[in-house]
Amino acid sequence: MSNINFSHKYKDKIVVLDFGGQYSHLIVRRCRELGVYTELLPYDTQIDEFKRGIEREEGCGKIKGIIFSGSPFSVHESSSPHCDSAILDLNVPILGICYGAQLIAYMKGGIVGEGRKAEFGRAELFFKRDSELFDWSGSSGENENDTASKSKNKSKSKSKSIDVWMSHGDVIERLDGADIIGYTRNSLIAAFRIRTSNIFGVQFHPEVQHTEKGDKILWNFLYTICGCERNWTVESFVKEKIEEIKREVGSDGRVVCGLSGGIDSSTTALLINKAIADRLTCIFIDTGLLRRGEKESVIKTFEENFKMKLVFVDAKERFLAGLQGVEDAEAKRRVIGRLFIELFESETKKLGKVDFLAQGTIYPDRIESAGAGSMKTALIKSHHNVGALPEQLGLTLIEPLKDLYKDEVRKVAKELGMPSKILNQHPFPGPGLAARVIGEVTDDKLRICRGASHIVEDELKSSGWYDKVWQAFAVVGDDVATGVLGDARSVGRIVTVRVVGSNDAMTADFVKLPYTVLESISKRITNEVKGVTWVTYAISSKPPSTIEPC
Ligand code: XMP
């Protein structure tokens, strides 16, 4: 099966080869933010796939450039990821970043050695000669009409150095046939260009915010060196997707969509509704695992505001019964997934003729679930929205958001007129509150989790923190602790508050909330949620933790 996605047949693209670096996704996102459609591919993608992509006509999915990502490995380790060295002979511009630069040097016969001192953090990069990569003149991609031609003939920068972000142990010691274009105190070949080619390497990370002019360096690669057109904007995505859905579904096709109330399924439904109007039916299942007020908000938004066809199923009892006695996190996910599929199946059958199933799968779901498109990421949690549903129902799958990151989904939703309540709400996992109830899911633990989570969100909103964090919620398990209520000692549940910051949920940090905010949250939870005696704050990041506890 081909790794390269040719679904955007009209989109020329940049490919990021993933050698397992922590910033691989960030490189993709930065390039997209700069206006060029970019995909992440595994480092061992076959050379023929690249050839096919490069040989395409301009404007028809042509690969215009390749970026090699970083990696935690050294090129000398036997298990280190190496790509086919023939990629360097494809006559397509290449930019190696960190390990990617070392790999290019290694494949070109250079010497990569252990550095005298590992370089982590800020370093000063000095320029050795003029290079298109370090040309600060012209645009940085803000302008809709920026193309390569516009940035030509501009004067080169006069600055002698910039601050860059380094994270490496090995260094390139020798590279014959290359021009050194930048160096630092510890890396004498910190940026190079293979002579008479468009192959560049930089030891630092232009994709991280700490690198001064990092965006401009990537812009120069995309527009000046690769000659990309600006082809990735929210407006163009929405317009083209609606046309694509119309073509795919045809003039009489019918689509069913599972609506959860989250941003992904809501945006999927809205996009499809714009394309085929009432030939879309949404099924909204109340699993009893929803947040406070969520059911009402979904019904109001989609049925009343957008006038969409909505089937509402109250399945609270069924889910709670199915989860009785199930303690293991993955087992809970399997039960929820199975029940969801069963209900969805029976409701869909009631609709008569249906041809397509729409799902709000997004790019990180695909990558976390299957390792598709990247290093073969280990399956961490099964995300039940990527299931066997379509085959079982004999329906064709439509996933209009499958190439988008979360922040891109939000931009699309805004463009489609999504109300801010849904637009700005935090991501919510498919298994709902069951992902936040440790051990068996019971009515009482759900009540505590829902009530306490509502307080966490409420306090963050009133203190101005809600929009600054990625997710914020409460977790409850079976642990109890002693408290005093009035004069009496009482035993109650421990609630853990989890508030994380993230860009894409692949990594996350716990948020250093002010003590005053934590104090109000704690006070309100112990006062307002019956049966809670202790409130704790989760202070571990992802990795090693995940965002959700189960
Ligand atoms: P973890 O807990 O794996 O979560 O760090 C990463 C992001 O994914 C969400 N999440 C899920 N989303 N189905 C989903 O659709 C799931 O089963 C699921 N589990 C976790 C989680 O809320 C976070 O944003």
DSSP string for 176-224 = TTEEEEEE-SS-TTSEEEETTTTEEEESS-TTSTTSTTHHHHHHIIIII
* Stretch 40-56: mean pLDDT: 95
What's the CA gap between 191 and 244, in Å, rounded? 42
> Is pLDDT of 369 > 90?
no
Q: In what side-by-side order are the strands of the sheet with 356-358? A: 309-314, 280-286, 255-259, 356-358, 396-398
What's the CA gap between 534 and 490, in Å, rounded? 11
Tell me which range, 228-237, 270-279, 404-413, is most confidently predicted by mean pLDDT.
270-279
pLDDT at site 4: 52
Residue 142 pLDDT level (bands cut at 50, 70, 90): very low
How many angstroms is it from 242 CA to the middle of ligand 1?
27
Residue 256 pLDDT level (bands cut at 50, 70, 90): very high
Report the chain's C-alpha Rg in angstroms.
26
3-state class (DSSP) for residue 66: strand
Look up tokens 């202790």; give the residue.
Answer: 534
Contact 211, 122 (CB under 8 A): no
Residues whose beta carbon lies within 6 Å of some atom of ligand 1: 380-381, 383-385, 427, 429-431, 435, 471, 505, 542, 546-548
Q: Which range has the worst mean pLDDT, 218-222, 235-239, 311-315, 326-330? A: 235-239
Per annotation, catalytic residue among 83, 98, 282, 449: 98
Closest Cα to atom 9 of ligand 1: 429
What's the CA gap between 266 and 70, in Å, rounded? 35
pLDDT at site 416: 96
Helix (H) / strand (E) element for 171: namely strand 161-174
> Is pLDDT of 375 > 80?
no
Q: Compute CA 290 distance to the chain's CA centroid, rounded to the nearest angstrom.
A: 23
Residue 102 pLDDT level (bands cut at 50, 70, 90): very high
Per annotation, catalytic residue among 25, 168, 205, 426: 205
E strand spans, 374-485: 396-398, 471-485
Residue 207 is a catalytic residue: yes
Closest Cα to atom 19 of ligand 1: 429
What's the CA gap between 517 and 458, in Å, rounded? 11
* Stretch 245-259: mean pLDDT: 96
Q: Beta partners for 481? A: 492
How many angstroms is it from 350 CA to the middle of ligand 1?
31
pLDDT at site 168: 80
Half-sphere exposure of 282 (CA within 13 A, CB side): 29
Look up tokens 């199915």; give the residue.
Answer: 322
Residue 383 pLDDT level (bands cut at 50, 70, 90): very low
Closest Cα to atom 20 of ligand 1: 429
Residue 549 Cα: closest atom of ligand 1:
2
Pick from 369, 402, 407, 548 the residue to mutate for probing ligand 1's pocket: most ligand atoms within 8 Å of its CB: 548
Pairing assessment for the beta strands 255-259 and 280-286 based on DSSP bridges: parallel
Closest Cα to atom 4 of ligand 1: 547
DSSP 8-state code for residue 406: H
pLDDT at site 140: 66
What's the CA gap between 153 and 133, in Å, rounded? 14
**pLDDT tens digit sequence for 430-440:** 899 999 999 99
Main-chain dihedrals φ then ψ at residue 414, nearest 5 degrees = -65, -45
pLDDT at site 387: 58
Most distant CA pair in the chain: distance in Å?
Answer: 83
Residue 3 pLDDT level (bands cut at 50, 70, 90): low
pLDDT at site 374: 43
Residue 333 pLDDT level (bands cut at 50, 70, 90): very high
* Stretch 271-293: mean pLDDT: 96
pLDDT at site 145: 39
What's the CA gap between 106 and 39, in Å, rounded? 25
> Does the bond joining 543 to the residue before it have cis omega, within 30 degrees of 0?
yes
Residue 381 Cα: closest atom of ligand 1:
3
Per the prediction, the chain carries an average pLDDT of 89
| Cα distances (angstroms) measured from residue 21 to each of 1, 74, 287, 435 | 24, 12, 38, 28
Contacts of 366 (CB under 8 A, 6+ apart): 372, 373, 386, 402
Residue 471 Cα: closest atom of ligand 1:
24
pLDDT at site 5: 56
Residue 9 pLDDT level (bands cut at 50, 70, 90): low
pLDDT at site 169: 84
Residue 98 is a catalytic residue: yes
Closest Cα to atom 8 of ligand 1: 429
Residue 116 pLDDT level (bands cut at 50, 70, 90): low
* Stretch 171-192: mean pLDDT: 95
Pairing assessment for the beta strands 161-174 and 488-501 based on DSSP bridges: unpaired
pLDDT at site 101: 98
Residue 546 Cα: closest atom of ligand 1:
5
Pick from 25, 340, 367, 381 the residue to mutate for probing ligand 1's pocket: most ligand atoms within 8 Å of its CB: 381
Residue 377 pLDDT level (bands cut at 50, 70, 90): very low
Residue 427 Cα: closest atom of ligand 1:
24
pLDDT at site 382: 47
* Stretch 481-499: mean pLDDT: 93
How many angstroms is it from 57 CA to the middle of ligand 1?
39
- The DSSP secondary structure of 102-138, one letter per residue, reads HHHHHHTT-EEEEEEEEEEEEEEEEE-S--GGG---S
pLDDT at site 368: 57
Closest Cα to atom 17 of ligand 1: 383
* Stretch 223-248: mean pLDDT: 94
Contact 371, 377 (CB under 8 A): yes
- Evaluated on CA atoms 395, 398, 402, 408, the torsion sign reads negative
> Is pLDDT of 77 > 60?
yes
**pLDDT tens digit sequence for 154-179:** 444 457 899 999 988 899 999 999 99
How many angstroms is it from 383 CA to the middle of ligand 1?
7
How many angstroms is it from 381 CA to the middle of ligand 1?
8
- The DSSP secondary structure of 497-546, one letter per residue, reads EEEEE-SSSSSBEE----HHHHHHHHHHHHHHSTTEEEEEE----BTTS-
In three-state form (DSSP H/G/I as H, E/B as E, the rest C), the secondary structure along 20-42 is CCCCHHHHHHHHHHCCCCEEEEE
> Is pLDDT of 391 > 90?
no
Per annotation, catalytic residue among 39, 119, 207, 459: 207
- The DSSP secondary structure of 462-510, one letter per residue, reads HTT-GGGSSEEEEEEEEEEEEEEETTEEEEEEEEEEEEEE-SSSSSBEE
- Evaluated on CA atoms 79, 80, 81, 86, the torsion sign reads negative
What's the CA gap between 17 and 272, in Å, rounded? 32
Q: Beta partners for 311? A: 283
Residue 526 pLDDT level (bands cut at 50, 70, 90): very high
**pLDDT tens digit sequence for 403-415:** 898 889 999 999 9
> Is pLDDT of 63 > 90?
yes
pLDDT at site 8: 53
Contact 96, 68 (CB under 8 A): yes
> Does the bond joining 72 to the residue before it have cis omega, within 30 degrees of 0?
no
Residue 262 Cα: closest atom of ligand 1:
15
